Amino acid sequence: MLSNSTLSNSLPSSNNPSLAERDKAVIWHPFTQMQTAPLPIPIVRAEGSVLYGANGQTYLDMISSWWVNLHGHAHPYIAERVAAQLRTLEHVIFAGFTHEPAVELAERLLPVLPSNQAKVFYSDNGSTAVEVALKMAFQYWHNLGQPRQKVIALDGAYHGDTFGAMAVGGRSAFTAPFAPFLFDVDYIPAPVPGQEEAVLQLAESLFTEDVAAFIVEPLVQGAGGMIMYEPDVLDRLFQLARRNGALIIADEVMTGFGRTGRLFASHYLKEKPDLMCLSKGLTGGTMALGVTTCAQPIYDAFLSDDKFKTLFHGHSFTANPLACTAALASLDLTLSEATLANLERIAAHHAAFRQRLSRSGAVASVRQRGTLLAFDLVAEGGTSYFNTIRDVAYNFLLERGVLMRPLGNVLYFMPPYCTSDEQLQYAYDQVEALLSELCR
């Protein structure tokens, strides 16, 4: 039987507007030019790697819904755990109070992070996890009585959309209107293969005694275009940063929880970061939660009889018990044998597909790290985000039931780990069809 809402979605009309039309009347979407954007696609439910549209269409979610979903949508185990928590304790103020899910999550996260990570600070999302890391770094130096103001970041970095996170991200058209309000940061190019020595030389001159922190997305720069580089050169950058004491912040908001083939990208490194930022996959894509972790000396620099050495930061929903419970359930799944096998399975399929990709004239710079496979679509006339090849690819794939969201001319696969061989194959086939189309 058709419900009213299904019916109204299939029959748009002014007296019985569709969900998309009701949306248009009241909602402002993220990263969306509302004047020219087509109506959004209503999704009524999702399961595993599949999104179900209101009119019966299905979409294979090959970007894990903006990189957050690890184990598939509406995972029954996560749902059960969150539902039970919802009936027990939905939220409580986290200053002066605590609760089991927050403590247990910290107890379970720290042992799987680089071994120097000692304390967990909760917030709400990736941007706030970065804000907290930056505030910890600046105030660390302040509390020591040796204030440092300079931050070093990588060109093309993305660390989030709040002001501090924007300030340490690569400057672009996205940040231009806010440029006067962003603090100064020195940038070094991403140390991509072939550029390592040049980048190290520049870093040598930049990592001076006034550098408070060096922030990076280890091994993969996500939103900047899935730019990948090797662990070796990052270790050497960390060593350079360390020489004059700069604190190292590893922003693993995207790379965390298995995405790069290891539990964290930092596990590919010999050097250990001082601070880490986690979010996105942290709850398996179920709820918003951010985590900033730090090494003991950073925490210690805030311990004092002097109240002004306190970290004055917090959010209303800090350590929300439901979000922490979702993270605990997701961690169970992430650490399971089944997931480890899936990570290898998907990486192997990607590796095989790479061979096919590199034979296409419409593809350049095929690159992979774990379950993340990216390549450039060869575009005529420039490669900016605003290039139409992005829209052509997005629409072509969407019409064939595959959700991928190219970053400019960079197309990438970031599937949920439960994605089946058949689903992967279907998505690969549609990408090959796109490439043939582009070559015509």
Ligand X SMILES: *Cc1c(COP(=O)(O)O)cnc(C)c1O
Question: How many angstroms separate the CA atoms of 161 and 91, rounded?
Answer: 26
The answer to whether residue 353 forms part of the interface with ligand X (CB under 6 A) is no
**Does 125 engage in binding with ligand X (CB under 6 A)?**
yes
Q: 157-168 burial, b if ≥16 CB within 10 A, otherwise e?
A: bbbbbeebbbbb
What letter does residue 340 receive in the DSSP assignment?
Answer: H
3 annotated to bind ligand: no
Residue 439 neighbours by CB distance under 10 Å: 11
User: 9 or 127: whose CB is closer to ligand X?
Assistant: 127
251 is an interface residue for ligand X by CB under 6 A? yes
- Residue (217 or 376) nearer to ligand X, CB: 217
90 token code pair: 């939905």
Measured CA to CA, the distance from residue 166 to residue 160 in angstroms comes to 6
Name the nearest CA neighbour of 221 among 159, 269, 128, 272: 159
Closest separation in Å from C-beta 259 to ligand X: 10
Cβ distance 254 to 217 under 8 Å? yes
- Which of 9, 123, 127, 143 touches ligand X by CB under 6 A? 127
Is 217 a binding residue for ligand X by CB under 6 A? The answer is yes
Min CB(113)–ligand X separation in Å: 16
- Interatomic CA distance for residues 280 and 130, integer angstroms: 13
Q: What part of residues 73-92 is at the interface with ligand X (CB under 6 A)?
A: none
State which of residues 42, 48, 101, 160 lies at the interface with ligand X (CB under 6 A): 160
CA distance 211 to 152: 7
Dist CA 172 CA 158 (whole Å): 10
The count of residues interacting with ligand X (CB under 6 A) is 15
| Nearest to ligand X of 222, 321 (CB atom) | 222
Question: Is there a contact between 414 and 67 (Cβ–Cβ < 8 Å)?
Answer: yes
Which of 99, 159, 369, 405 is in the footprint of ligand X by CB under 6 A? 159
Residue 71 labelled as part of a binding site: no
Q: How far is the CB of 222 from ligand X (least distance, A)?
A: 4
Produce one character per residue of 228-239: b if its CB has 16 or more CB atoms within 10 Å, e if not. Answer: bbebebbebbbe
- Under the criterion CB under 6 A, does residue 254 sit at the interface with ligand X? yes
Helix (H) or strand (E) holding 339: helix 337-357
Residue from 72, 126, 156, 408 in contact with ligand X (CB under 6 A): 126
Q: Does 253 bind ligand X (CB under 6 A)?
A: yes
131 binds ligand X (CB under 6 A): no
The reply, when asked if residue 75 is annotated as ligand binding, is no
C-alpha 376/C-alpha 391 separation (Å) is 14
279 binds ligand X (CB under 6 A): yes
Residue 63 C-beta: closest distance to ligand X, Å: 12
The correct pick among 82, 167, 216, 223 for binding ligand X (CB under 6 A) is 223
Q: 3-class DSSP state for residue 98?
A: coil
386 closest CA partner among 357, 408, 411: 408
User: According to the annotation, is 420 in a ligand binding site?
Assistant: no
**Which residues define the annotated binding site for substrate?**
66, 158, 280, 314, 405
**Which residues define the annotated binding site for pyridoxal 5'-phosphate?**
126-127, 251, 315-316
**Which residues define the annotated binding site?**
66, 126-127, 158, 251, 280, 314-316, 405
| Residue ranges in contact with ligand X by CB under 6 A | 125-127, 130, 158-160, 217, 222-223, 251, 253-254, 279-280
